[in-house]
A = this chain, B = another copy of it.
Amino acid sequence: MASPNQPFVPSAVKTESELSLELNDSLTQAAVSTALVSVFRGKFCDAILPNRKTISFKKEQIIYDVGDNERTLFFLQEGFVKVGTITSDGHELIYDVRKGGDVVGELCASETRRPDRAVALEQTEAIPVPFDDVMEVVRKQPDLLARLVDVFCRALNEAYAQVNTLAVDDTAHRLCKVLLKLAAKIGQNSGSEVEIPTYLTQEEIAQMVVARRERISTALNFLRRKKMIQYTNHGHLLLNLKALETYSA
């Protein structure tokens, strides 16, 4: 596997004409930004997780898959995970990325057969909890209710935001929004820039943006020329949030 360290910037840079430059109007993107991060941290964990065993998942390992029918949520302790599905034409589609402190698998609440899947993006520790157990705890401690509702509501918000972008934005703008979302969820400050501390292939980014990998390659280089992004010497993305926000707005 080739690491993308210091990705080769071709000397003959192609014309920018391909990627539309005109500023798109901004989305009613809803302030979904901060995501599910850590919603379940604290009280929720204290009430549900003690005396349960953690499971380790290696990079690329499937936590649960489309078609599974056990109804369990997974409380992520450590690591990054992608949540998505496999489309009818066989391609992967990524809805969301979550990390330690988040939950995945909430869709099993109203379906027996899972429509979605979660895959570890890197070494991940998670505690599986049967859905019924979660409900039981919330019934006994009604102060946790708000948090449970919040988890679903935020996910719903994000899903709608995704529909919005798909309806109005072109590839470059959607890529921007994906990068900003990643920054909000798993970004780490690195001076005035924000680093995405996980290596994501262009293919994976494409699955989040909903576009072909080739377009992502072109769009990423477009953003690099615009100084909106760069790579660290570890091959990670380094984002200029200000610039990205301006462009995506």
A residues apposed to B, CB below 8 Å: 24-32, 66, 85-91, 93, 95, 106-107, 109-111, 113, 115-116, 135, 138-139, 142, 145-146, 148-150, 152-157, 159-164, 166-168, 210
CA distance A90 to B29 in the complex (A): 13
* A246, chain B: closest CB distance, angstroms: 14
User: Quick check: A115 and B149 within 8 Å, CB to CB?
Assistant: no
A93 to B161, CA, bound (A): 11
Contact, CB under 8 Å: B163 / A93: yes
Residues of the B chain whose Cβ atoms lie less than 8 Å from the Cβ of A26? 88
Select A163's contact among B95, B149, B157, beta carbons within 8 Å.
B95
Chain B nearest CB from A203 CB (Å) reads 15
**In the assembled complex, how far is the CB of residue A97 from the closest CB belonging to chain B, in whole angstroms?**
15
Question: From residue A204, how far is it (CB to closest CB) to chain B in Å?
Answer: 15
Residues from chain B with a CB closer than 8 A to the CB of A161 are 115
In the complex the two chains form, is A210's CB within 8 Å of B167's CB?
Answer: yes
Beyond A28-B87, A87-B164, 19 extra complex contacts between A and B, CB < 8 Å: A24-B88, A27-B88, A28-B85, A29-B88, A30-B111, A30-B115, A85-B160, A85-B164, A88-B164, A95-B163, A106-B153, A106-B156, A110-B149, A111-B157, A115-B161, A135-B149, A148-B149, A152-B156, A163-B166
